[in-house]
Amino acid sequence: MEIRKIAAGSPDMPVLEAINEEAIPEEERCALSDMIATGATVCCIDVNREPAGFTAVRYFRNLVYLAYFAVRNDLRSKGIGGSALRELIRQHPGKQIVVEYEAPGPGCASNDMRLRRKQFYLRNGFHETGWHTCYDGTEFEIGCSQQDFDSEQFRAFAADIAKVVSDYIPNPFRKA
């Protein structure tokens, strides 16, 4: 497996956009080319020299925000995603890698998938933070690669990114 940065005009972009459409719910999805245009770094996850998935990250101070992460449907459950997450953590020593995943809970649509997704992150180096966000009526949990999540840095990141991505205005909260 290799992880390599790509540009908006990369010949791999159509394949990665197809993975994006397959893996990310429409209401949560942003085109990878738009991500790059607003300052995100998109990397291709290659397996046997073929695109198997991607990461889209945003950098802010000591925070690495994993905005999007996907592996091709036919390659899931083969260890590729876990290897890619562990490599992302290895490549950013001392940094907080932060991810949001749909919060599981009774009565949630696709709760089994939400539980699987959360467990996937927890198995591969992320920790529960006790913090949540909400977008368009969907609640998300915040996971972090370090035990101590810096919520103030995340708030500063959110304020900064809202300057270029107008519909991204997370308001992190803890449940009572």
Is pLDDT of 167 > 80?
no
Q: Note the pLDDT tens digit of each residue in 81-94.
A: 999 999 999 999 99
Q: Note the pLDDT tens digit of each residue in 115-132.
A: 999 999 999 999 999 999
Q: CB 55: neighbour CB atoms within 10 A?
A: 23
Residues, the chain: 176
The C-alpha atoms of residue 44 and residue 56 are separated, in whole angstroms, by: 9
Q: What is the mean predicted confidence (pLDDT) over 5-19? A: 94
What pLDDT was estimated at residue 176?
66
pTM of the model: 0.93
- Name the residue with tokens 């992150």: 121
Q: What is the mean predicted confidence (pLDDT) over 147-156? A: 95
Q: Comparing 137 with 76, which gets the higher pLDDT?
A: 76
Q: Coil, strand or helix: which one is 159?
A: helix
Average pLDDT, the chain: 92
Domains, the chain, in order of start with CATH, read 2-174 (3.40.630.30)
